[in-house]
Amino acid sequence: MKNNSNNYVIRVLNSPLQVNAAAWNALLATQSPDGSINPFMRHEYLAALETSGSATPATGWTPRFVTLWQGCELAAACPLYLKDHSYGEYVFDHAWANAYRQHGLHYYPKAVVAVPFTPVPGARLLARNATERTLLARSLVAWCKDEKLSSLHLLFASAEDAVACEQAGLMLRHTVQFHWNNSAPTLTTACASLPPEGAASPWGGSAEKLAPKGRRFNSFDDFLMSLSHEKRKKIRQERRKVLDASVRFRWSLGQDIASSDWDFFYQCYEQTYYEHGNPPYLSRDFFHRMASTMPENWLLFVAERDSAPIAASLIAVTSYSAGADGELFSLATAKTAYGRYWGSLARVDCLHFEACYYQPLQWCIEHGYQRFEGGAQGEHKMARALLPVKTTSAHWLAHPAFADAVERFLAHEGEGISSYIQELERRNPFRHTDRGNAAPT
């Protein structure tokens, strides 16, 4: 497929394996101004989803990676999947699909630009510049029209992606996630964490102006002291319950994660899915490939009782390096950890909170990580000082009448999201240093 502008050529490929890994990762490395690399958009991650059988046509994810070339150089690219269901996306459009079906229309297959099973904000339209990013977005719409697809959905987009998508005629939709920022608030009221790559501040305006201007926490107790008395007391009580149950934790990073620990983690992960009535999205082979191709992006916590493992949580981290003294460092100015997967073989009160929040937050503080992203949904995370940030998706529907209806729906839904965020602001967990000026953040 040719584009007459500057001799660009669009190539739609049937697998991430058909994209040169070095070229893809080089393009990815230019997307974030702070030098961080979103691990879920690495070529190794996307390739492992396919080669492990986790995201394939058999599971409802048919890859069609879209690439924009100028001569022999990869100018822009994105992961696109044809979907015959809406599972594993975390931006819910089941009502749209039902409306199509009620009117005798086919909603599936649809096109989704996303990382399967991964609600982490970040760049989806990898491009050398804004012009090529917009050209890629417009090419996506044109390709979907040619393929007679019902719709195109770009999930958990970066701010730059959102601009390109609007210019290409897509509608924007917002949801809320909860993220933690390693910064002791010095304002009279605490603001939410610095929005991550791809997430907008729920208050609008400059994130730098709205983020807390404070020092990093020097310990978990220092972090607790920034919270209100009620929240601080609750966290201490929850941690005490796990200690009183004789549960202790150990962590391993990167190459130090033993094969037996990976096996145990998957046992926990798999059982937790089956307990909720579903098979796991990701196969054991997928995690084997993670341990082999990008171990530096994984941090594992294992809970033990009487020296026997009983639970595990797996955290993704931005890539790190180790100095001669063993100290971890990163070229990125803001290192990020991502809460991802957990499972337990035993029932212990508050073990989930300890494994998925308190242990990772303590580790982030001790190792200089700036942000911890808690994943999709879950306003209970606010009690653990994970604060709301707005995330963005973009949508195009081929049917004009349904597109108009969805546009009206999104306008109404957006008003609801704004009200929801305002309510969350009033429940800010940080203590106010000036009670006479304790307005919501």
For 69-94, the pLDDT digits (tens) are 999 999 999 999 999 999 999 999 99
Q: 387 with 179: CB under 8 angstroms?
A: yes
Question: pLDDT tier at 97 (50, 70, 90 boundaries)?
Answer: very high
Q: How far apart are CA 228 and CA 221, in angstroms?
A: 13
Q: For the chain, what are the domain ranges?
A: 2-177+391-425, 217-369
Question: pLDDT tier at 309 (50, 70, 90 boundaries)?
Answer: very high
Q: Average pLDDT in the 226-250 region?
A: 97
For 368-416, the pLDDT digits (tens) are 999 999 888 788 899 899 999 999 999 999 999 999 999 999 999 999 9
Kindly state the tokens that stand for 336.
């990020």
Q: DSSP code of 269?
A: H
Question: pLDDT tier at 426 (50, 70, 90 boundaries)?
Answer: confident
pLDDT at position 3: 60
- Measuring CA to CA, which residue among 16, 36, 43, 4 is closest to residue 294? 43
In this structure, CATH architecture of domain 217-369: 3-Layer(aba) Sandwich (3.40)
End-to-end, the C-alpha distance of the chain in Å comes to 49
For 385-398, the pLDDT digits (tens) are 999 999 999 999 99
Q: Average pLDDT in the 261-286 region?
A: 95
Give the contacts of 248 (CB within 8 A, at least 6 positions apart). Answer: 303, 304, 305
Q: How far apart are CA 314 and CA 360, in angstroms?
A: 10
Q: Answer yes or no: CATH 3.40.630.30 is held by domain 2-177+391-425.
A: yes
Q: Among 4-13, 208-217, 347-356, where is mean pLDDT lowest?
A: 208-217
pLDDT higher than 60, residue 193: no
3-state secondary structure of 95: helix
3-state secondary structure of 299: strand
Q: What percent of the chain has pLDDT over 70?
A: 86
Q: Average pLDDT in the 311-317 region?
A: 97
Q: 360 with 284: CB under 8 angstroms?
A: no
Q: 83 with 160: CB under 8 angstroms?
A: no
Kindly state the tokens that stand for 67.
């690439």
Mean pLDDT, rounded, of the chain:
88
Number of neighbours of residue 397 by Cβ within 10 angstroms: 25
Q: How far apart are CA 92 and CA 94, in angstroms?
A: 6
The sheet carrying 8-13 orders its strands as 2-3, 8-13, 65-70, 73-78, 126-127
pLDDT higher than 90, residue 203: no
3-state secondary structure of 152: strand
- Measuring CA to CA, which residue among 370, 435, 439, 434 is closest to residue 186? 434
pLDDT higher than 70, residue 249: yes
pLDDT higher than 60, residue 128: yes
pLDDT higher than 90, residue 328: no
pLDDT higher than 80, residue 281: yes
pLDDT higher than 60, residue 184: yes
Please provide residue 75's backbone torsions phi and psi, each rounded to the nearest 5 degrees: -95, -30
Question: pLDDT tier at 332 (50, 70, 90 boundaries)?
Answer: low
**Domain 2-177+391-425 shares a fold with domain 217-369:** yes
Q: Average pLDDT in the 104-126 region?
A: 97
pLDDT higher than 60, residue 320: no
Q: Average pLDDT in the 260-264 region?
A: 98
Q: What percent of the chain has pLDDT over 90?
A: 77
Q: DSSP code of 227?
A: B
pTM higher than 0.85 = yes
pLDDT at position 205: 34
Q: Average pLDDT in the 352-369 region?
A: 96
Question: pLDDT tier at 188 (50, 70, 90 boundaries)?
Answer: very low
pLDDT higher than 70, residue 333: no
pLDDT higher than 70, residue 325: no
Q: How far apart are CA 384 and CA 190, in angstroms?
A: 14
Kindly state the tokens that stand for 402.
């349904």
- Measuring CA to CA, which residue among 350, 357, 366 is closest to residue 243? 350
Q: Among 230-234, 399-403, 427-431, where is mean pLDDT lowest?
A: 427-431
Q: How far apart are CA 208 and CA 201, in angstroms?
A: 10
Length of the chain: 441
Q: How far apart are CA 190 and CA 394, in angstroms?
A: 30
pLDDT higher than 90, residue 354: yes
Give the C-alpha distances (Å, rounded to integers) separating 340 from 178, 229, 283. 13, 29, 15
Percent helix, percent strand, percent coil in the chain, to nearest 5: 40, 25, 35
Beta-strand pair 328-329/371-376 = unpaired
Q: Per-residue DSSP letters for 324-372?
A: TTS-EE-SSSS-EEEEEEEEESS--TTHHHIIIIIHHHHHHHHTT--EE
pLDDT at position 431: 78
Please provide residue 119's backbone torsions phi and psi, each rounded to the nearest 5 degrees: -85, 60
